[in-house]
Amino acid sequence: MRGPLTSSYPLAFRDLSASSLMALNLKFPWDALLRWKEGSNFKFRLPEETNVFTAELYAIFKSLCFVYRNCHCSVHIFTDSMSALLALSTLYSWNPLVQMIYEKVLEIVLKSTRLAFYCILGHTGLSVNELADQASKEAVHLPPEVRSGVMFLDLKDYVRCRAELVSESNPGPENNDKGADVVELEGGSEVRKPPPKLPPIPQSVYKPPREIPPEKIGIGANKKVYFVCNNPGDDWTMLPDVTPQQINVARQIKKYFTGDLNTEILTYPPFPGTEMNYLRAQIARISAGTQVSPLGFYYFDEEEEEDEEEEFRTSYVENPDFEPVPLKDLLDKSMSFWVHHTLYILKQGRTTWWSPKSEEEAEEEEEEELENVSEEEVGPPILTPLSEDATLESVPPWTVRISSQLMPDFAVAVLRSNLWPGAHTFATGRKFENVYFGWGHKYTSYNYSPPTLEATQKTYPLGPEIMEMEDPTPEEEEAWRIAHEPKPEVLEEEQEEEEDMEEENEDDDDED
């Protein structure tokens, strides 16, 4: 049984007796039956204003009613309406016809009847759609050994093959014409042309960028290990090491912390990790930009100066002979008496540059011209004064003030970061400390705007086979017309005169 295929032929049954046709009880709200008799097909036509989707559901419902009244151990219902099947697969559908079908299916299943719905496309590649319909009706009578394991693709192939057999045994006026892909040989045999060669499937040329390795524990951004807890007295949780990918993505997003370290970070670009990793990345960024100390509190060890180059100094020691900086100098707005004692994080996401090329490749390419290779990036050296910090949109990166104007002898110098709101540093005598109370967001002059999506990759390469042809110019059209004009027919008299002239010329040549 099938539901409507098109508005012209919505329902059809094959080789049913008159009693079976009467048992269908097809009482539509319109007089649509055209003709029917025992042992033949009958069809009815829907009016134009009828909704085909509703008629499809109604036909399925009437088919279920027929199945319920007639005992069958296994029933297969075929339809080409994908929308009808989707409506049936949707729970709590508001459509009253779907509710009626649910109730009828339940009644049929309670009678131990196996019921299955199949979707077959109405057009199976044949010139006559009715032949495909006829084959789909015959597919209901599948053998018992095939009936239980039939699948959608197998059934579709069965319908196509059966329809081709029907079209060969019942040739009609539309089937007598040979298709354009059939060639008749001299012996009378026919050979089907091979299908046209399709262009090759385009291959993706995208190569993912090489992943930058993280810094080792105790070096750079992973120099320290951090433990966190939500409330005083709770168990401490150690944060994992940070990776360059996490730092680079954290620079492009803004996300508030929830307090749950296992919360997934849903952003664009996608963050590689959970809130635990995002917190660790923000700690690394805040520490690299706001951990400062009074000038002279740290200094470079003389023994390590010989081993390390000045540009790549990564370690320092506390100065035992440090003399406290006067409060007046600490409050100087030039910030010359404050220095950074944490390494700067490069755009690569590391504090030290990592070259993606090995040493052997670097030696080979020294002789060649390197145009597209990124140059090695070097950040500001460690223990650089704050006076060299860059401003952001005319906003000074630091603000310093005294803690109390009333008691200057007991006051401390308080340094506040304007790039990372919430980061403060206080110093008095030989003591100083860095603290942070904030949301973990860096200051921006403008409202946050997420990064735009990347350009869509081309699905196929451009070539002459897919390029549109240019229209010919009038001159080219005229030249083509003249070249393809039929040659003028030569009159018989002119031909005879030409032949006589040729014969006379030949005679003259012979006499000479």
Cβ contact 319:297 at 8 Å = yes
Q: Is the per-residue pLDDT at 8 higher than 50?
A: no
C-beta separation of 149 from 74 below 8 A: no
* Whether residue 132 has pLDDT greater than 60: no
Q: In Å, what is the CA distance from 167 to each residue of 14, 126, 130, 161, 185? A: 16, 9, 10, 10, 22
pLDDT of residue 476 exceeding 60: yes
300 in Cβ contact with 308 (< 8 Å): no
Strands across the sheet with 413-417, in order? 398-402, 413-417, 423-428, 431-436
Q: What percent of the chain has pLDDT over 70?
A: 62
Stretch 25-44: mean pLDDT: 32
Q: Quick check: 254 pLDDT over 80?
A: yes
pLDDT digit string, tens, across residues 498-511: 777 777 776 666 56
Check whether 219 has a pLDDT greater than 70: yes
Please compute the mean of the pLDDT values over residues 355-380 and round it to a whole number.
Answer: 62
- In the chain, the amino acid numbered 346 is L
> Higher model confidence: residue 50 or residue 37?
50
CA 414-293-216 angle, to 5 degrees, is 130
Can you tell me the mean pLDDT for 399-408? 91
Sort residue 233 into left (φ over 0), alpha (ψ -120 to 50) or beta: left
Residue 321, CA distances (Å) to 299, 318, 385 in order: 10, 9, 20
pLDDT at 256 over 70: yes
Is it the case that residue 126 has pLDDT exceeding 90? no
- What's the angle, vertex CA 281, arms to CA 285 and CA 382, rounded to 5? 35
Longest dimension (CA), the chain: 143
Report, as an integer, the average pLDDT of 459-466: 69
Give the pLDDT score at 289.
Answer: 93
* Residue 278 reports pLDDT greater than 80: yes
pLDDT tens per residue across span 46-81? 445 556 677 777 778 877 887 787 766 777 777 777
Mean pLDDT of 331-340: 94
DSSP character string of 295-321: TTSEE--HHHHHHS-GGG----EE-TT
From CA 56, how far away is CA 97, in angstroms rounded?
A: 10
| pLDDT number for residue 228 | 96
* pTM listed for this prediction: 0.53
> Confidence band (pLDDT; 50, 70, 90) for 183?
low
Q: Give me the mean pLDDT over the 175-186 stretch.
A: 49
What residues contact residue 466 under an 8 Å CB cut-off, 6+ apart? Answer: 460
DSSP structure class, residue 235: P
CA distance 222 to 241: 6
Angle at 188 between CA 185 and CA 194, to 5 degrees: 40
**235 neighbors 229 (Cβ within 8 angstroms):** yes
